[in-house]
Amino acid sequence: MIRLENLSKIYGSRENPIVALHDVNLTIQTGEFIALYGRSGSGKSTLLNLLSGIDRPTSGKIFVHAAEVTAMDENRLTLYRRDTIGFVFQFFNLLPTLTVLENVLLPGQLNKHSASKLRERGLHLLAQLGIADRHQAWPDQLSGGQQQRVAIARALINDPQLLLADEPTGNLDSETGLHILEILKSLSANHDKTILLATHSLDAAQFTDRVFQVKDGALVAQTNKAGK
Amino acid sequence: MLRLLRLFNLRHLRRKRLETLLCLLGIALGVAVMVGIDLANQNALRSFRRTVDAVTGRATHQILGGPAGIPDSLAATIISGSEVQATPLLEYVASARFHATIQDTATKMILHLLAIDPLTDADFRDYSIAANATARSGSTAMSTGLRFLLQPGAALVDEDFAAAHHLKIDDTLKVLIGARWREIYIAGLIPKQTLSQSGLDNLALVDITTGQEIFGRVGYVDRIDVIASETAARTLAAQLPASLHLEAPARRSQRVNDMLRSFRLNLMALSFLAVFVGMFLIYNTMMFAVMQRRKQIGILRCLGVTPRQIILNTLLEAFGLGVIGSLLGLGLGVVLADYVTRTVTTTISDLYVFLKVSSVTLNSGILTKFFLIGLLTTLLASAVPIIEASKVPAAVAVRRSALEFRAQKFAPRFAFAGICFLVIAIVLALNSIQGGEVFGGFFFGLAAALAVALGAIFLTPLLTLVLVRFTGVIMNKLAGMIGVLAARNIQTALSRTAVAIAALMLSLSMVLGMGLMIASFRGSLNDWVKSVLQADIYLQPTDAATAKWEALFPPEFIQFLEQQPEIDAIDLYGATAFTYRGQPIYLIAISAVVVKDRLDFIFTQGNDQENWQHLIAGEVFLSDGFARRFHKAVGDTVVLSTLHGPRVFRTAAIFVDYSFEQGQVMMDHRTYTENWGASRITNIGVFLKPQIDFRRYAVDLRRALAGRFAVQVIPNRDLRERVFKVFDQSFAITQVMQILAGVVAFIGIISAVMSLLVERTRELGILRAVGMGFGQLHQMVLIESGLMGALAACIAVPAGTALALVMIYVINLHTFNWTINFQINFGAYVQIWWMALAAALLAAIYPMSRLKKISIAAAIREE
């Protein structure tokens, strides 16, 4: 279970504050597929960044499976990101110096998992995502959709409980984007992954179990699958 | 334009203070090295030339004799018989001690003794007029003047010198002439105004009779100074006997110049190398400074700034940096020059001719020259990357991958150019070896070394790609994905990494090349020392102030030695500065009968016993340096000017020698005496009877000589140590180059690693986002930096070895006349590896500390 308590993030100076998130409270159950829907600059990405520990809140607390993320030091945060979180970015963020398979294996290797088992798992994930045949290719030799699938495989390599996807279809054509959303949905439904999807597309948000609208740094509305 | 400069360029410099500082430091160091070595090169001989000019005074010509000088009677005939003004002269630079504190080494002074004829010298030198005038004015002064003229041992001493050492009139000074302390007393002072005008200092004037007495030259003068028109001089020259010759005073400076030519060529080569390193350093730092802004340039292009505006703006910025950096470099260079001048002066004094350590005199010509070189190099260095960046289409300029792709594509073409340079190096080296001319050979050698360096530089990108691919596999095994990432980062950022690796490689190659050359030289010298230094004890006059090989043993000392029952045999060794075909050489007289069975000369050919028999019979040996310099072989003849006119000597053998780079003609004492008068004994080798303990005898001999002769008693092992001490001293200046190479390496790597980290901020953010800890990031940066160091060292191994071969078989052989056998020295190879790794790992510390400042959220947002 994930719990956000009175979470706020303010950038800028005291004289000229820019409120990115204001007093956000949210509880997410394990295995849920949640959408954070809102315009660009509304605070969705900030919320994902705080949740993943790559940014720190100005105030408030974050609990992920009883662990308080906001109380972790830098080392514990690194391990938390490595073991508990999988991150999928809008611009894929694959490392151009590594091959497809090496990109996928990287978080696992940072964890010093057994090399052979890791490789097996990496290839299995790539096969599940339909790009096993490109495992030796370089990122710039792949299409956008393929790169995003590699990014998803990388996010899953350490078998994290929580998958954060920041506009994963924002840089893809609609057909490819649809395919990526189906993959995420399947991960949630079949593999019990908790997924938070940040998107500005209502169509994308419709794929999830619950949709939270984010506006000016606050969660202003919630709809469920039935649109209620 | 200026607005763009202020907004874009200056603001960038202000925000990137460390990078700006590194860039300025790079330019400053480059300029400093060039200025330091060139100023030292110019300054080294300045004091010597000033002294020669001041002593020469108004003389237009000088009459010189052979090694023994000009007999008094002959001098008197010439002076009285000729229609020109002429005056005799003796000259000696001696250590002096105040009588009361003779044992106190702290009061050691150097005195330039000039023995003149007061009656005729006034027309030649202003200070001798002043000395006489001072002496003759007033009643006390009058008596001083008379004492100066009439009393033996009287001297007029430089007023400043006397004041500096608290000496007063009537004080007695001891001066060390050869192996004997002689006394002079201060009869009067030479006014300092006169001397400061002449440029001379530490001067003492004595009457010529006193000079002959204390210099041990009774019956001879060194030379006759002459004031004559060209026509009168020609007439005079025609009338001189065969043993004498007339020459312009400038020839004396020229002779020293000739003698030091190879040494100065070496300094010039170092200066040239410094220019090369300096330019590379400036290029390296400026390139990083400009390349860092490639992205901003792309954005400016997108916003409508023209390529011309970008070029001019950045060149304007480079101009500013060049001016500041070059000015800083001039300041640093002057500081460096002080150290280098001291080193150079000490080396010249040890090896060639006594020079006083002089302070650095600033030369506006040199300063302007290197200021302009620094500025132009900065402009050129920034022009290359900025023109390239401005040519890239706007959209592409933002993406660095395009540049890296091009860099990798160009690597094979660069490699081809590198191979061409290596071929050129081989052709130049062969040409130099076959040409044999010293001057041309040196420059061909230097060009060959430059071609080797350029070849290695141009091969670096391709070798980096190949080696990184190979090391990537090893790194994967050793450090997993972190190692792979580090290796790939070097590969994919080739446009930066190759330049940094090339800069480091060049520095390391120079260090290795010099290290191998010095080690090989040391090894060859060691073999030679073992073969020729075999006497139990060596003796030489204590006098260290005078010109090399001018301090002589008096005959009574030889007689003293011959009476010692412990001594089995004595090798009397006499070195005399001489000229052959107008070039400085040395005539060496030895006791052939004594040494033929005791020393193992390394002859190039022939039977040892037969060679010695020929020498004893009146033929000569030539050193290998002489033979090479003047193209002589065994059986050839050399014509030497003797007391009896030119005489032909047959070459009995050629031997390996490391004592005189100018080359030497060696003969038996009998041959020398027949042709040049009494032998001048400069060193003595003592062979003891078998049962005598040389250590104990050395102590006894020192005790027996104390108070009678100022002679250094040096046991064999000590002399060998001294030989290597002098050897090490003469290569001390190369340490400066090694330190500079280390600095270049450090700056090159730190710039590269910093730039790579700045450019890869997003990638680093991704790595942090996917769970890479700081420890792992640090590990990656360390491996990356260490790998760059290791790659540079890998390439430096063959490049440095090739440079050493060029230095040994081309430059040293033809410029210094030293035959060096190349020897592999593992220490030199180990040294560059630790230098490379230390520089690379140290350079990683600062960039690693900056990693914590990276905001992951900001980094991964960037696109």
Q: Do A93 and B762 touch (CB under 8 A)?
A: yes
Residue A58 forms part of a structural domain:
no
Residue A34 forms part of a structural domain:
yes
Closest CA–CA distance from residue B854 to any residue of chain A (Å): 11
Mean pLDDT of B413-439: 81
Closest CA–CA distance from residue B387 to any residue of chain A (Å): 27
Nearest to B776 among A87, A98, A110 (CB): A110
Q: Which of B382-386, B422-426, B480-484 has the lowest mean pLDDT?
A: B382-386
At a CB cut-off of 8 Å and minimum separation 6, what does B333 contact? B31, B32, B33, B34, B35, B36, B39, B370
> How far is residue B189's CA from residue B163's CA, in Å, rounded to a whole number?
10
Question: What local confidence, expressed as pLDDT, does residue B673 receive?
Answer: 93
Residue type, B81: G
Closest A-chain CA to B760: A95
Residue type, B605: Q
Q: Which of B54-63, B81-90, B188-197 has the lowest mean pLDDT?
A: B188-197
- As a whole number of Å, the CA-based R_g of chain B is 33
User: Which CATH number belongs to the domain containing residue A122 in this structure?
Assistant: 3.40.50.300
Q: Do A96 and B401 touch (CB under 8 A)?
A: yes
At a CB cut-off of 8 Å and minimum separation 6, what does B427 contact? none
B140 — pLDDT class (breaks 50, 70, 90): very low
Q: Do B770 and A87 touch (CB under 8 A)?
A: yes
Closest CA–CA distance from residue A163 to any residue of chain B (Å): 12
Question: What local confidence, expressed as pLDDT, does residue B104 receive?
Answer: 45
- Which of B477, B489, B760, B770 should be substituted to probe chain A, the one whose Cβ sees the most A Cβ atoms within 10 Å? B770
> How far is residue B790's CA from residue B838's CA, in Å, rounded to a whole number?
10
Chain A environment of B777 (Cβ under 8 Å): none
Q: Closest by alpha carbon to B813, among B804, B800, B826?
A: B804
At a CB cut-off of 8 Å and minimum separation 6, what does B584 contact? B255, B258, B259, B577, B578, B662
Residue A130 forms part of a structural domain:
yes
The average confidence (pLDDT) of chain B is 80
Q: Closest by alpha carbon to B450, among B283, B269, B281, B285?
A: B269
Closest CA–CA distance from residue B389 to any residue of chain A (Å): 22
Closest CA–CA distance from residue B748 to any residue of chain A (Å): 23
Question: What local confidence, expressed as pLDDT, does residue B119 receive?
Answer: 79
Q: Is the pLDDT of residue B138 over 60?
A: no
- Per-residue exposure over A114-138, b if at least 16 CB sit within 10 Å of its own CB, e if not: eeeebbebbbebbebbebbebbeee
Say if strands B203-207 and B683-688 run parallel, antiparallel, or are unpaired.
unpaired
Q: Is the pLDDT of residue A74 over 90?
A: no
Q: Do B770 and A154 touch (CB under 8 A)?
A: yes
Helix (H) or strand (E) holding B96: strand B85-98
Nearest to B860 among A93, A109, A111 (CB): A93
Q: Is the pLDDT of residue A224 over 70?
A: no
B461 — pLDDT class (breaks 50, 70, 90): very high
Chain B environment of A109 (Cβ under 8 Å): 480-482
Mean pLDDT of B59-68: 84
Per-residue CA distances from B232 to B85, B121, B226, B239 (Å) = 10, 19, 10, 11
B543, B167 Cβ separation under 8 angstroms: no
Nearest to A102 among B401, B481, B860 (CB): B481
Closest CA–CA distance from residue B477 to any residue of chain A (Å): 11
Q: What is the pLDDT of residues B296-313, one digit of tens each?
A: 776 777 667 777 777 887
Q: What is the pLDDT of residues B691-703, one digit of tens each?
A: 888 888 999 998 8
Domain housing A206: 30-48+73-224
B388, B291 Cβ separation under 8 angstroms: no
Nearest to A87 among B480, B492, B769 (CB): B769
Mean pLDDT of B655-661: 85
The average confidence (pLDDT) of chain A is 87
Residue A5 forms part of a structural domain:
no
The two structure tokens encoding residue B609: 């016993």
Nearest to A54 among B484, B488, B857 (CB): B857
Closest B-chain CA to A156: B770
Q: What is the pLDDT of residues B558-589, one digit of tens each?
A: 899 888 899 999 999 999 888 888 888 899 99
Question: What local confidence, expressed as pLDDT, does residue B548 receive?
Answer: 57
Q: Is the pLDDT of residue B253 over 70?
A: no
Closest CA–CA distance from residue A78 to any residue of chain B (Å): 5
Count CB neighbours of B372 within 10 A.
Answer: 12
Question: What local confidence, expressed as pLDDT, does residue B863 receive?
Answer: 47
Closest A-chain CA to B780: A110
> How far is residue B676's CA from residue B640's CA, in Å, rounded to a whole number?
10
Residue type, B596: K
B331 — pLDDT class (breaks 50, 70, 90): very high
Nearest to A81 among B481, B489, B771 (CB): B771
Cβ contacts from A onto B, under 8 A: 82
Phi, psi angle pair for A158, to nearest 5°? -95, 15
> How far is residue A33's CA from residue A186's CA, in Å, rounded to a whole number?
10
What is the domain partition of chain B in residue ranges? Answer: 1-45+262-398, 59-252, 454-532+721-863, 543-709
B143 — pLDDT class (breaks 50, 70, 90): very low
E strands present in B318-390: none
Nearest to A78 among B488, B762, B771 (CB): B771
Q: Do B771 and A140 touch (CB under 8 A)?
A: no
Closest CA–CA distance from residue B397 to any residue of chain A (Å): 18
- Which of B403, B475, B476, B481 should be substituted to probe chain A, the one whose Cβ sees the most A Cβ atoms within 10 Å? B481
Q: What is the pLDDT of residues A80-114, one digit of tens each?
A: 988 898 988 888 888 887 889 989 998 888 877 77
Q: What ipTM was assigned to the predicted interfaces of this complex? A: 0.83
Q: Do B766 and A95 touch (CB under 8 A)?
A: yes
Q: What is the pLDDT of residues B774-823, one digit of tens each?
A: 888 899 989 988 998 999 999 999 999 999 998 888 887 776 777 888 98
Q: Do B766 and A105 touch (CB under 8 A)?
A: no
Helix axes B761-769, B774-806, angle to 10 degrees: 140
- Per-residue exposure over B70-99, b if at least 16 CB sit within 10 Å of its own CB, e if not: bbbebbeebbeebebbbbbbbbbbbbbbbe
Chain A environment of B857 (Cβ under 8 Å): 46, 49, 54-55
Closest CA–CA distance from residue B779 to any residue of chain A (Å): 12
Closest A-chain CA to B862: A91
Question: What local confidence, expressed as pLDDT, does residue B543 receive?
Answer: 64
Chain B environment of A96 (Cβ under 8 Å): 401, 492, 763
Q: Is the pLDDT of residue B116 over 70?
A: yes
Per-residue CA distances from B478 to A167, B234, B467 (Å) = 37, 83, 16
Taking an 8 Å Cβ-Cβ cutoff, which residues of chain A contact chain B?
Answer: 45-46, 49, 52, 54-55, 74-75, 78-79, 81-83, 85, 87, 89, 91, 93, 95-98, 102, 105-107, 109-112, 115, 140, 154, 158
Taking an 8 Å Cβ-Cβ cutoff, which residues of chain B contact chain A?
Answer: 401, 480-482, 484-485, 488-489, 491-492, 762-763, 766-774, 776, 855-857, 860-861, 863
